[in-house]
Amino acid sequence: MTDVKPRLLLLDGHSLAYRAFFALPAENFTTSTGQHTNAVYGFASMLMNLIRDERPTHIAVAFDVSRKTFRSEKFPEYKATRSATPDEFKSQSAFLYQLVDAFGIKRFELAGFEADDILATISTAAKTEGFEVLICTGDRDSFQLVDDDVTVLYPKKGVTELARMTPAAVTEKYGLTPTQYPDFAALRGDPSDNLPSVPGVGEKTATKWIQEYGSLSELLAKADKLAGKVGESLRASIESVRTNRELTQLLHDVPIDFKVANLLWEGPHESDISKLFDHLEIRTLKERLKAIGVSAKDAPVKSATVTNISVLQISSSELEKLIAEESLPITIAASYVGNQILEYSVHLSSGKTLHIQSNEMGKWFLDPKIKKITHGAKPLVRDFGMQGLIFDTELAGYLVNPGTRSLELSDLTQRYLGFATDSQGGATAETLFDESNFEPRSATWIAELAAVLEKDMKARELLNLFNEMEIPVLNLLAQMEALGIAVDVKKLKELETLLRNDVERETAAAHKAAGKEFNVASPKQLQAVLFEDLGLPKTKKIKTGYTTDADSLDWLFTKTAHPVLQSLLRIREAGKLKTTIEGLLTATGKDERIHTTFQQTVAATGRLSSTDPNLQNIPVRTEEGRKIRDCFIAQSPFVDLMTADYSQIEMRIMAHLSKDAKLLEAFHSGEDLHSTVASEVFGVPRNEVDAEMRRKIKAMSYGLAYGLSSFGLAQQLDLSPTDASELMARYFERFGGIQTYLKSVVVEARAKGYTETIMGRRRYLPDLNQDNRQRREIAERMALNSPIQGSAADIIKIAMLNVGKAIAESGVRSRLLLQVHDELICEIAPGESEVMEKLVRKEMGSAYPLNAPLEVNVGFGKTWDLAAH
């Protein structure tokens, strides 16, 4: 019986943590105080997977101290092109060290040397002492260390999939031995380290040369015999290649104090890890500690991951019987295309996961008494009539972290359930959610995810918002999307033709004004015409010359009044409108109605948006925007459209939150708000407030609600910064309660890490504590506008729900179709205008008891434009 070699696991700390940082979106991993945790989470997850799967007896981690090393001393350009380390990563460095210590793992770092040099040094010593060595690093230079005793575990994708680089694997991938790898790398270069390649020499040529000559030194000795351009390139690059080779070589004698025997891993300090995970609010990893809490010398522990799930294949009729016998709720995952279910799975409360390869859902699916959980529920409600929804993990993930970019099931399970490699099927977090294949286990993951997210929402006091507002809004939006809104297709097409002709006419005029033909859509040709041929003043300098965006052309036209600019601006405007109309026509169904998709989980403030098409893209105040709105119509048997929105809702919320006595008085006076405020600020009677005064104060008032600075106000009103600051000071002198409120919002948000709306909706702003001034000021503006914008979103959602409920209970045939820019649009049945106006005014006006009462504007018309008020 032969002795089993001790196994040493070496990790490149910064390399792996950096990969984790970029693999896991930072905005998805933040604590309630705004501390980013994605690098720590990803590194901890990978470390636990490695310990579980590799069962090492000894472990060590090496970290880089800084980018200044002996390599950068010899070659100042080494890694010089790398971007600065993100602040979000830097803020996690101390926690990474704490994590390694809490795991009971020795860590090393030494100024002037890179982590890979330290790992090479430890690896060399361990081999001589009879160890099997595993090196986990994202640096390919480590491939030179590979031999029969040393294997490199190289991350292929994110932090979940590792390539096992043995001598055979290196040879298979590169056609070379590990000892030849540095020679190959010297020729290929490395952009990430700013090591230049030999021009014209790719990996194939580099491999061919090393195979033919055996080594780089032999190749360079015979470089004069190489023919062609590649030979010339090599001869011209000999010095840089030699430098590359020197820099690529890892050191094996870094002066660190260690003994391999002292790297023995005796298990994690679970209490320390638990405290750290609690502090960083990544408690989902705590359960996985149980699977790795022993070293390799102990008995193996079976990996307990959420991917080891038994799935039973049954028919839809069998499922119907089972559901009748089960306790509720049930969790659903479905695969569908258009309005056709392909297959689905359900997870029952008893723990069973069932897979049904059928498009028949059964009566249970339509039964509101059978409570259901799923992910991304709206299509199931809208297209297949699902009822009884009580939990949507996509919606819950959004409420918990409203700034997140992705709410895909794979992202949420990775964050909250900590997917590891599946020991049964070899699946990873990436392959488990391949859209081309339905994964029946999804139903179980959704159920487990729902349990975790429900606890998270409860801790953040968001459950009431979720249950009483967001889930009902989801159901109402599904109904509104199914209804859609009718359009006059003929009129849209005529408008599209007019705009196309307009573009052609203005293009010809631009060519005439420039004295030559050119591509009006080409920035490069525009630059040549404007700044070289016509000699117009230069705009802002950019990488490719001078900017020709719409704002710059507008500035140029104001400055020069050149006719070519007038034509170009008109082309831009008409082209944009034409694109909008094309999108509307494409989205129009056979029923001549547009069924937009409302986005409930995109805007961090809680506001709704729409896509396919984006109805918020249609201009409100321009003549042509009105022409487009005039194409939205009431469709027989309905006779009119009705629009309803709030008057000055942001300012009313500002008055409510700030409790400013003068602003509240202005609202209660019943007079024009902006004229009343202007009379206070400028110290003149209200009847002496002119249009310019009113315009400035209106811009100021709404600017404050959106977090506008004095500099921003100066730009908006075309004032000097000094004049803008003076105007703002005069405003705050009369409305001091607003200034006090705005200051307190930022202070409170900085202390808590988030802002809140009147309904408790949170927006997390970790950048409030940023050292970077620009990012901190952006976060401060968000802190100023989020409570107001978010509260406006809350109120319009309550109004929607109230209006929808009242319509259903009153028995009218009229219906709610759209919510665009906080405006509700209804389709009115014959004879119901009066009752609908009364209903909508009541429900919208009583949506929330603001100290500055809500005021509702209502309009009717055959088209959306005519219904404007």
> What does the pLDDT read at residue 83?
65
For 673, the token pair is 């708000």
CATH 3.40.710.10 fits 7-173+250-262, yes or no: no
pLDDT per residue over 605-661, tens digit each? Answer: 999 999 999 998 888 878 888 999 999 999 999 999 999 999 999 999 999 999 999
The three-state secondary structure class of 423 is coil
- The shares of helix, strand and coil residues in the chain, as percent rounded to the nearest 5, are 55, 15, 35
d(CA 267, CA 298): 10
Mode of pairing for the β-strands spanning 311-313 and 485-487: unpaired
For 320, the token pair is 């119907």
The three-state secondary structure class of 866 is coil
Q: How far is CA 423 from CA 165, 306, 426, in A?
A: 20, 11, 6
Could you give the angle at the alpha carbon of 499 between the alpha carbons of 493 and 502, nearest 5°? Answer: 145
d(CA 165, CA 161): 13
Q: How far apart are the first and last CA of the chain?
A: 91
Radius of gyration of the chain (CA): 33
49-53, 289-293, 538-542, 560-564: segment of lowest average pLDDT: 289-293
Percent of the chain with pLDDT over 70: 91
Predicted model pTM: 0.67
d(CA 251, CA 73): 15
pLDDT per residue over 317-365, tens digit each? Answer: 899 888 888 888 999 999 988 888 999 999 998 888 999 998 888 899 9
More confident residue, 303 or 64: 64
d(CA 7, CA 681): 76
The three-state secondary structure class of 824 is strand
pLDDT per residue over 250-295, tens digit each? Answer: 888 889 988 998 999 988 888 888 889 888 888 667 666 654 543 3
Average pLDDT, stretch 516-541? 90
pLDDT per residue over 132-186, tens digit each? Answer: 999 999 888 899 899 989 999 998 765 557 888 899 988 888 888 888 888 887 7
CATH 3.30.420.10 fits 311-421+437-461, yes or no: yes
Please give the full DSSP string across 453-500, using - where no structure is assigned: HHHHHHHTT-HHHIIIIIHHHHHHHHHHHHH-EEE-HHHHHHHHHHHH
> What does the pLDDT read at residue 430?
39
> What does the pLDDT read at residue 299?
30
pLDDT per residue over 718-733, tens digit each? Answer: 888 888 889 889 889 9
Beta-carbon contacts of 382 under 8 Å, excluding residues fewer than 6 positions away, are: 478, 479, 481, 482
Q: How far is CA 314 from CA 233, 318, 374, 475, 559, in A?
A: 66, 6, 20, 29, 74
d(CA 622, CA 64): 58
HEC string of 606-673?
CCCEEECCCHHHCCCCCHHHHHHHCCEECCCCCCEEEEEEECCHHHHHHHHHHCCHHHHHHHHHCCCH
CB 160 within 8 A of CB 428: yes
What CATH class does 603-651+778-868 carry? alpha beta
CATH 1.10.150.20 fits 652-777, yes or no: yes
Average pLDDT, stretch 686-696? 90
For 855, the token pair is 């005021």
Query: For the chain, what are the domain ranges?
Result: 7-173+250-262, 311-421+437-461, 488-591, 603-651+778-868, 652-777
488-591: what fold?
Taq DNA Polymerase; Chain T, domain 4 (1.20.1060)
User: Comparing C-alpha atoms, which of 755, 725, 723, 760 is closest to residue 742?
Assistant: 755
Average pLDDT, stretch 50-79? 79
User: What DSSP element (H or E) covers 283?
Assistant: none
Residues 22-58 as b or e (16 or more Cβ within 10 Å = b): ebbbbbbbbeebbbbbbbbbbbbbbbbbbbbebbbbb
Beta-carbon contacts of 363 under 8 Å, excluding residues fewer than 6 positions away, are: 320
> What does the pLDDT read at residue 292?
54
